Amino acid sequence: MPDPRILIAGGGTGGHIIPALAVARALVQRHHAEVLFVGTPRGLESKLVPAAGFRLELIQVGQLKNVSLLTKLSTLFSLPRAIFACRRILRNFHPGAVLSVGGYASGPASAAALLAGIPLMAFEPNAMPGLANRLIGKRVAAAAVNFPAAERYFLNAEVTGIPVRSEFFSLAPPPPDAAPHLLVFGGSQGARLFNQTLPKILPALLDAVPGLTILHQCGARHLEPTESAYRATGVDPARWQVQPFLDDMPARFAQAHLVMARSGASTVAELAAAGKPSLLVPFAAAADNHQKRNAEELVKAGAAVMLEEPELANPSALRDALIVLLREPATLARMSAAARTQAHPDAAQRIADRLAALASR
């Protein structure tokens, strides 16, 4: 049987493209597959895919969600041309299967695959699928989802989880005698709400939790005002650290007793893989409120506590929630064990195997 050819379509953000690259590597390692990516010039795939050694074809397509009417009309006008470009790519590459990972290019490429009769597999990392995946969900040959709640939107769906770096699955817990440590991050760009709220509760939080230290990733654009707000509290600088960006996230997770974060799909998957208890504050403007749905799944499992953005208008709500968690090691241990039940260490391999099986048809 010849080695399979797989086309992976989509991207835009790291949450789309990083899991897609993990699947691509598994396809090459396990099935000697030839992999081609389709994306757009505006997405992270334009940098990350070539850097990973994979071929990338670019198409022009805009946004449909959370944009102005003029932008929607422009996107709809350009959509047939984008689908035509994808059909040309399919004819030239002859894939045995197509994987849609969500993002700008996934819609036109999925439509082209369906029109061409090529088996299409959807990857959905969120509990609430995005627009492109909701449109194709009942026409796909298979689907890989991260949460059981998303299964009902697709044909032949399987809960595979999200591919996560292997380091997250082998983290040792903090030493039993280690002082409590809180990791705060809102994604690579930081979260303005976190940057503004944490300094307001810092003195009371550190007084209530003896020995507590905090590491706060604030985003490169927000370093100066966030650090200034922390300093203005007069709290001992040895007990807090503000960084614009954290490189080695597995190591940072390993040191943390509790993580405060947004609830994007990749973050939720990393928390589960690392077995970390979390306090999640979903980004209220996320498309289809998918971050809230993600957080609700971890809360349901007993692995997280959720506060919504309006609740942080009263900083004491965040202060009290953090104090309750950080002063109860037994509660954190139970949440940690619950988080691990949501982990999927073989996600990339399972998705790759299913794609190879579709291509072999």
Tens of pLDDT, residue by residue, the chain (361 residues): 678 999 999 988 888 898 999 999 999 999 999 999 999 998 889 999 999 999 999 998 765 555 555 555 555 556 788 999 999 999 999 999 999 998 888 989 999 999 999 999 999 999 888 877 888 999 999 999 999 999 999 999 999 999 998 899 999 999 989 999 999 998 766 788 999 999 999 999 999 999 999 999 998 889 999 999 999 999 999 999 999 988 889 999 999 999 999 999 999 999 999 999 999 999 988 877 889 999 999 999 999 999 999 999 999 999 999 999 999 999 999 999 999 999 999 999 999 999 999 999 7
CA 189/CA 236 separation, integer angstroms: 26
Closest CA to 169 of 46, 22, 269: 269
Domains detected in the chain: 5-164+346-360 (3.40.50.2000), 167-340 (3.40.50.2000)
Closest CA to 213 of 240, 233, 231: 240
Closest CA to 323 of 176, 182, 173: 182
CA 324/CA 37 separation, integer angstroms: 46
Torsion of CA 322, 324, 327, 333, to 10 degrees: -90
Tell me the whole-structure pTM to 2 decimals: 0.87
The radius of gyration of the chain from alpha carbons, rounded to an integer in Å, stands at 21
CA 335/CA 331 separation, integer angstroms: 6
**Residues contacting 311, CB < 8 A, separation 6+:** 317, 318
